[in-house]
Structure 1
Amino acid sequence: MSDTATTDTAAERTTGVMLTDAAAAKAAGLLRAEGRDDLALRIEVQPGGCAGLRYRLAFDDEQLEGDLVDHYDGVDLVVDRMSAPYLGGAVIDYADTIEQQGFTIDNPNAASTCACGDSFH
């Protein structure tokens, strides 16, 4: 996992979530490929999955009242206030290796995860 992020310090992040350079670059690239500059990358925690909570990571064209936003090079990261306590200190990365491809979330608040890795408690 990359330890670098495109914002300077943790104190500057309002979402409590860090987006690595690799994740920011991939998200920005996906937005460019779609020709969209009106979307933000939103991470949410929702009820579901076998461990009780699951992540939802998607592009969103809405910002709701109370949303927390961090600006990265080419992409905004949005977290709603209900999800923020579950995500404080989490790191979103992007991997493109033979073993793993896609966005990953390393969340220190997850006490346990399910075997499929899709949900946490």
Structure 2
Amino acid sequence: MIKVSDQAKEKAIQLMTEDGFKPFEDYIRAGLEYMLKFDNQKTDSDQVFEDNGIKIIIDKKSILYLAGTILEYSGGLNGKGFIFNNPNANRTCGCGESFSL
């Protein structure tokens, strides 16, 4: 479903640890607006996926839009942060936080 690069995995574990979450027990939540947050609760409308040792919760409405997405992390000079490489997006905004199909 969603792939997690090694750099994204390392950064997610670092940030979860800093925020008091337990890596490999708590989740990353992603939504249609490329919202990413750490969470440790799942609702009935969520689907859980795991890649590279990271559990990801996606609400069931968003699954079709995010299929094949790769979550990466960039720490370079051109900006740092998590990046959603979504093959379904025809257009994205300049900051990469939203997309259209």
TM-score bucket (shorter structure)? 0.7 to 0.9
Compared CA separation, residues 118 and 63, structure 1 to 2 (3 A): same
Distance 1:76 1:107 in 2: 18
More strand by share: 2
> Which amino acid in structure 2 is aligned with residue 35 of structure 1?
G
> Structure 1: which 5+ residue stretches go unaligned?
1-15, 46-53
Distance 2:11 2:31 in 1: 19
> Which amino acid in structure 2 is aligned with residue 28 of structure 1?
I
- Say if 2:84 is the partner of 1:105: yes
**What do you get for the CA RMSD once the two structures are aligned?**
1.6
- Say if 2:19 is the partner of 1:34: yes
**Matched positions, count:** 97
Q: Deviations over 1:2-27 (max 9, x none)?
A: xxxxxxxxxxxxxx111111111111
User: Which consecutive segments of 4 or more residues in structure 1 shift more than 3 A?
Assistant: none
> Which amino acid in structure 2 is aligned with residue 100 of structure 1?
G
> Structure 2: which 5+ residue stretches go unaligned?
none
Paired-residue identity, %: 32
